[in-house]
A and B are shown apart, each in its own frame.
Chain A
Amino acid sequence: MRALYKATLLSAVLAAAPLALPGAAQAEDSVVLPNLSYRTGPFAATGIPLMNGQRDYIAMINARDGGLNGVKLDYQECETGYDTAKGVECYEKLKSSSAVTQPWSTGITLQVLPKTNVDKIPLLAPGYGFSAMQDGKTFQWAYNPPASYWDGADMILKNISGGNLDSLKGKKIVLLHLDAPYGKEPIPLLENLGQKHGFTVVPIPVGVKEMQNQSAQWLQIRREKPDFVLMWGWGAMNAGAITEAVKTKYPMDQFVGIWWSGFDGDLKLVGDQGKGYRSISWSYPNSEAPVMKDIKKYVVDAGQSLINQAEGEFDSVFYQRGAMISMILVEGLRVAQDHFNTKVVSADQLRWGLENMKLDDARLKALGAEGMLPPFATTCADHTGHSGAWMLQWNGTKFEKSSDLLQADRGEIDGLVEKAAKDYAAANQPWPASECKM
């Protein structure tokens, strides 16, 4: 009988051991900035440069300035492989110590968003997540600066129509999109605009399993004979679509991608044949900008970076966009530090910082990122900031700016945002709403 008790006791200890594991202690003078990264899985190719950029910007701040006003920035990655279940697992693991959540997937955003009101951790999804997150009165804890997908869709249409959407009348536009919440985001706006301006929108989904082989989708595109193909693609889907477009000789200057479909690596695969492909982007790589020079000096040349220098990753759009994303986050932290006159910013204070950012030309110049990011400012009611974006075009070896700064037409978008936010709040009652009286 005693042996039985002993065994029971032992199994009790063994069973309880893993329960006590998570929840790392937080150092006094550091801010934990976790990132739900994916360096594995089907989207790793596009994930890695972005995450390297985020990581290196923060490493540069720590190395150059000894942290932000003396506070060390503790950048932590938690690997999700773009898997929603793993993302939620990471969120639960990190939420006790983290100041921010960077979900890196619209699917994970979907899961975490309702919890933000409860756990009170701001969610930062620069250039992704729901377009409706713009509405700060409904989504008090979610931020998607500097531009949303609906902004992006509108700006693309503006650019391809030459500034006047009515000139698209009678045209046919195919939306080649990833069959996931992310890819479906622009559909409501495109359909509304299509009805208003008289063009037809044909959404063609690409399942995650068929990303690499899109012959069926491109056969359909050939049959539809669209005037333009817009792409909401990600990871291996971009490369698949671009190579397939080259193969079927689809005119590249009629093929336009959202900012996540403008990855240098995908276009290098086709080189000159990809000439003319465009991608809207709210960031522009400039390796000569002071901020990038600092990253090179303090992180890359010091051997602290994970980037693949032989492949020219440093000059790529995505790497430098990753750096810009961290810059936005650090700017939010700085604003919060100033306002609350504190050093270690809490999640609650960072929320205030993120909605009171003012990245104007002077501030961007001071940060050494002039021309890499369009100026924008967030407010309590507007969590996106609407920086606008540039159209980048592939010239055979790299992306170049092919337009001035474009701005989305607010009229159609704001109405949709209001409706989507209202629907979201109604479906998730009781949902707290903020008045935004400042």
Chain B
Amino acid sequence: MLYRIAGQYKTSYAADHALFPVRQDAWLLGVILLFAFVVFPLTASDFTYQALLIPVLIYSLAALGLNILTGYAGQLSLGTGAFMGVGAYACYKLVSLFPEMNLLVAIALSGFFSAAVGVAFGLPSLRIKGFYLAIATLAAQFFLVWLFQKWRWLTNDNASVAIQVPNIDMFGITVAGPNARSITQYFFVLCVVCLMTWLSINITRGRIGRIWKSVRDMDIAAELVGINLMKAKLSAFFVSSYIVGVAGALFVFLWRGAAEANLFDIPLSFRVLFIAIIGGLGSILGNYLGAILIVALPVIINTVPAAIGITISPSMVEHLNTMSIGALIIGFLIVEPAGLARFWAVIREKLILWPFPH
């Protein structure tokens, strides 16, 4: 009913290759974008922006970057947190060295620093695979966080060895720093994330994406049909680290406002990896679903007991929260091991057939 595809004829190759072969998908996306651009900004409070909307978007973007590497090109990485850190520190140095630079430009440029570091640490991927590669990227994680702590130049000799985001104006509106309004930050993040998502969708379903997928599925076969493995793997590291670096710059500049090196330590890498795995490796949509589950749900659960009038101590809420999120993750993975994106795909298949399943 909802997803009735009868009557939607494809009369050209272009129509067959369209981003949304089924019209309802486009409508659904339209509704989601309507919410993101119009409904949420009209209803959200500062708390909603800072604790739900902005972090979900930024974590989705980071997971998207990781997903390109791990889900599409099949290279396992545990260094996402550190690559986010490279983006954030690069953006900080760019902004403090060139105060006139437009923040958008600074963020776009900082992605290249992270991409370069990502490619350097991706070099071992030419020789090793799987868990061995994961260990190599783990080295990046340890090394970079150590570097953030020791290299005082990165933090402009800050006494607490932390970076703090100054007030940054763009076209007369403060977009970052303590004086920035949450709604401006939200729109900034939303636009960047939308742009990145659009780029990623088109990269992953095009020629480069198919190369990555063939390397992921069987690299020897890919090499035999003439794919240059080095180019394929390193380009995956480049694109992935670029997106992760942009996410890192947004993470500090548009959300946290200040950061210390420990922030980019392993827990962050794992968090992003969890989002990508639970959302679904090798999918774009999954990153958003995963981020909603891992980032937003705990915040919402935290407010539930107070909202329905039960008074339990905040630490108890925290314990319950950790337990219920853990149970949910395990539950979801048992029901659908391939992640939330696959879960949605199954629902959609059923909706197309409904109400006459055969």
Contacts and interface: CB of A to CB of B under 8 A. Distances in A.
Q: Do A and B bind each other?
A: yes
B46 A79 contact: no
B156 A427 contact: yes
Nearest to A4: B2
Contact of A115 (B35, B178, B263, B315): B178
A114 B164 CA distance: 9
A188 B24 CA distance: 62
B167 interface: yes
Nearest to A116: B178
Given A3-B2, A110-B162, A22 B258 contact: no
Given A19-B40, A21-B303, A428-B166, A179 B262 contact: yes
B164 A40 contact: no
Interface residues of A, number: 55
A23 B47 contact: yes
Contact of B46 (A7, A39, A95, A106): A95
Most buried by B among A22, A89, A420: A22
Interface string A420-436: 10010001111000000
Nearest to B51: A89
Interface string B25-52: 0010001000100011001111110111
Instruction: Report which residue of B52, B156, B165, B263 has the largest number of chain A beta carbons within 10 angstroms of its beta carbon.
Output: B52
Interface in A111-165: 111, 114-115, 117-118, 130, 132
Interface string B162-181: 10111100000000011100
A16 B318 contact: no
Given A19-B44, A114-B177, A77 B318 contact: no
B225 interface: no
Given A19-B45, A39-B315, A114-B164, A89 B2 contact: no
Interface in A1-59: 3-4, 7-8, 11-12, 15-16, 18-24, 37, 39-40
B12 interface: no
Nearest to A11: B31
Interface of B: 1-2, 24, 27, 31, 35, 39-40, 43-48, 50-52, 55, 96, 149, 156, 158-162, 164-167, 177-179, 256-258, 260, 262-263, 299-300, 303, 306-307, 313-315, 317-319
A180 interface: yes
Interface stretch (A80-88, A221-229, A307-315, A324-332): A80-88
Given A18-B303, A37-B315, A107 B260 contact: yes
| 8 pairs of A and B residues whose beta carbons are closest in the complex | A114-B178, A39-B315, A181-B160, A79-B314, A89-B51, A22-B47, A92-B50, A92-B47
B303 to A, nearest CB: 5
Given A22-B45, A118-B178, A428-B178, A93 B51 contact: yes
Given A23-B45, A184-B160, A78 B257 contact: no
A405 to B, nearest CB: 28
Contacts of A77: 313-315
A12 B39 CA distance: 9
A114 B174 CA distance: 14
A40 B318 contact: yes
Given A19-B40, A93-B51, A107-B260, A188 B45 contact: no
Given A23-B45, A118-B178, 5 more contacts: A4-B27, A16-B43, A19-B43, A79-B315, A81-B318
17 contacts: A4-B24, A19-B40, A19-B43, A19-B45, A19-B48, A20-B43, A22-B47, A84-B256, A92-B51, A93-B47, A106-B160, A107-B260, A110-B160, A115-B178, A132-B159, A181-B161, A188-B159
| Interface core residue of B159, B161, B164 (most chain A CB under 10 Å) | B159
A74 interface: no
Question: Of A21, A84, A118, A427, which is in contact with the most chain B CB atoms at under 10 Å from its CB?
Answer: A21
A270 interface: no
Contacts of B52: 18-19
Contacts of A427: 96, 156, 158, 164, 166
Nearest to B178: A114
A52 to B, nearest CB: 12
Contact of B257 (A15, A40, A111): A111
Which one of B96, B160, B313 has the highest number of Cβ atoms from chain A below 10 Å of its Cβ?
A: B160
Nearest to B268: A85
A110 B258 contact: yes
Contacts of A382: none
Contacts of B313: 39, 77
A93 B2 CA distance: 38
B257 A89 contact: no
A78 B318 CA distance: 10
A179 B149 contact: yes
Contact of A130 (B45, B160, B166): B160
B256 A88 contact: yes
A208 interface: yes
B260 A110 contact: yes
Contact of A181 (B44, B51, B178, B260): B260
Nearest to B96: A427
Given A3-B1, A19-B40, A111-B256, A208 B306 contact: no
A50 to B, nearest CB: 14
Contacts of B167: 428-430
A85 B50 CA distance: 10
A185 interface: yes
B200 to A, nearest CB: 24
A437 B131 CA distance: 65
Contacts of A188: 159
Contacts of A78: 314
A130 B162 CA distance: 12
A88 B50 contact: yes
Contacts of A117: 178
A335 B96 CA distance: 42
Nearest to A91: B50
B164 A110 contact: yes
B314 A22 contact: no
Contacts of A207: 262
Nearest to A48: B315
